[in-house]
Amino acid sequence: MITADRIDERVARPVAVALLMVSFTMPFFFSLGGLKLTGYRVVLIIFLLPAMIRWLNGSAGKIRGVDWLIVGFAFWSALTLTVNHGLVSKWQFIGMLTIEILAPYFIARAYIRDLESFRYFVRWFLILIVILLPFSLYEMATEQSPLLDFFGGFANVYQKWIYEPRLGLFRAQATMPHPILFGVFMTPSFALFWYVLGWNKTLFRKVSLSSLAGIVVFTSLSSGAFLNVIIQMALMAWNKMFSFLKNKWKVLLICFAIFYIVVEAGSNRNVFQIIATHMTLTPGTAWWRILTFEFARDDIMRNPVFGIGMHDWTRPHWMTLSSVDNFWLLMTLRHGFPGLFLLLGTVLTMFIQIGRRSLTGAVADARLGYLFALCAFCVSAVTVHLWDATFCFFMFLFGAGVWLLDAEGDQGTNSETQQKQTKRTIRYTRFPPEMSGVEAPTAPRVSAGHNPLPPHHAQRTAQPAHR
């Protein structure tokens, strides 16, 4: 029997996830009491309290260590900003940052609780890409932003960024604040489409789905987004080629450790510098990232605990740009090493605990897609900064995978389970049970001396049929 609470839960899950995913791609914003509100911020404020209640009362599964790491990161971020700026001058910014850390995580944590709801989230990813892809292709070819122009006719929208062409094309930002954010936001869909929506489908279907993701990422012409997809493809290839190895991921980690040691010992540049110079479309921006890392590191060492908050970092006068295109570096710069360790602890906890689970079938593939997407997202964040909707989506990704810690075996959807187990029930067959594979109908029990059929019917059935 389906109770009213169960119906409310079924309605709340898709509404919260769908609204948040759509709001991430809305380009307009407005001011309320001096506070800048975007579509996704409104959704976060609405669903934060219900999601936290579900987490506290056990409806979202038991409380786990990764939850406290996220809560700790939000608390520490607020504390560092208070120490550096005071609560009076930055209370609005501190409050909104806390919401942007906690709300997306706990919305995903509370409303994505099984394979079915996880697929629902990925399907909305597909819907957004199908809608935005034609506009991003048009923008890449013409430098015109039809969606920003449309929404800009009646609302405040994000700034349109103009860059020099790359590869003879223009960078598309679609409805995002920046082309980099648009590309990075779309990247997790590559592995998720292959392993979640493409599960038990043909190779053509898998390639088609992931190709959509690859094309929309390409329109951003962002090297950080390209690196993200390349990492996902490499992990997928490794998983396929070395499927016969039981400890293939330990082997991969050992290979990476050896590579890192060899590069650090035998090269005059570190691994970050090599990635920055060889994984970018514009060499000038690569060297700018390297210089930013060098000077920002000095500020970090001078302020290792509380960071420098939102203060400007120290650099030569000729470095006019204040942006730091390295998410992990900027988090350490603003919130000190404790903030970095809390966030990295969240990443490591997710990988270790989810990776140790014994899962099969569709759930095991969903785990692969999720971990590949999350790993690539974390690595590519070395070359880009995440802010606004893309930062919130990063927090959302953490919460979207916690259900895998509670998953048991293979959670096929009801329709899939019924289709696989009972395609069609054959009630009558001329073959015996051991040949037909179905249970033979059981003859009715008849008491001794009693004939259940009338005499004339019994006589007709006893006569052989003539043709």
- The whole-angstrom separation of Cα 229 and Cα 86 is 41
Q: What is the pLDDT of residue 458?
A: 42
pLDDT digits (tens, 9 = 90+) for 21-55: 999 999 999 998 878 899 999 999 999 999 999 99
260: confidence class by pLDDT, cuts 50, 70, 90: confident
| Torsion sign across C-alpha atoms 409, 411, 414, 420 | negative
- The whole-angstrom separation of Cα 288 and Cα 93 is 28
Q: What is the pLDDT of residue 13?
A: 61
CB atoms within 10 A of CB 388: 19
- The whole-angstrom separation of Cα 415 and Cα 420 is 9
pLDDT at 188 over 80: yes
Class of residue 185 by CB neighbours under 10 A (exposed 0-12, middle 13-18, buried 19+): buried
Length of the chain measured in residues: 467
Instruction: Encode burial over 306-339: b for 16+ CB neighbours within 10 A, e otherwise.
Output: bbbbeeebebeeeeeeeebbbbbbbbbbbbbebb
Amino acid in the structure at residue 255: C
Are 140 and 430 in contact, with CB atoms under 8 Å apart? no
80: confidence class by pLDDT, cuts 50, 70, 90: very high
Calculate the average pLDDT of the chain. 86
386: confidence class by pLDDT, cuts 50, 70, 90: very high
pLDDT at 281 over 80: no
Mean of pLDDT values over 220-225: 92
- The whole-angstrom separation of Cα 28 and Cα 125 is 20
Q: DSSP 3-state assignment of 166?
A: strand
Q: Global pTM?
A: 0.84
Instruction: Encode burial over 90-100: b for 16+ CB neighbours within 10 A, e otherwise.
Output: beebbebbbbb
79: confidence class by pLDDT, cuts 50, 70, 90: very high
Q: What is the pLDDT of residue 448?
A: 45
pLDDT at 252 over 50: yes
Domain ranges of the chain: 7-408
- The whole-angstrom separation of Cα 420 and Cα 362 is 13
| Torsion sign across C-alpha atoms 181, 187, 193, 196 | negative
Mean of pLDDT values over 58-70: 95
Mean of pLDDT values over 287-308: 91
Q: Which residues pair with 28 in a beta bridge?
A: 157
Dihedral, 140, 146, 147, 148 alpha carbons, nearest 10: 90
pLDDT digits (tens, 9 = 90+) for 110-154: 999 999 999 999 999 999 999 999 999 999 999 999 999 999 999
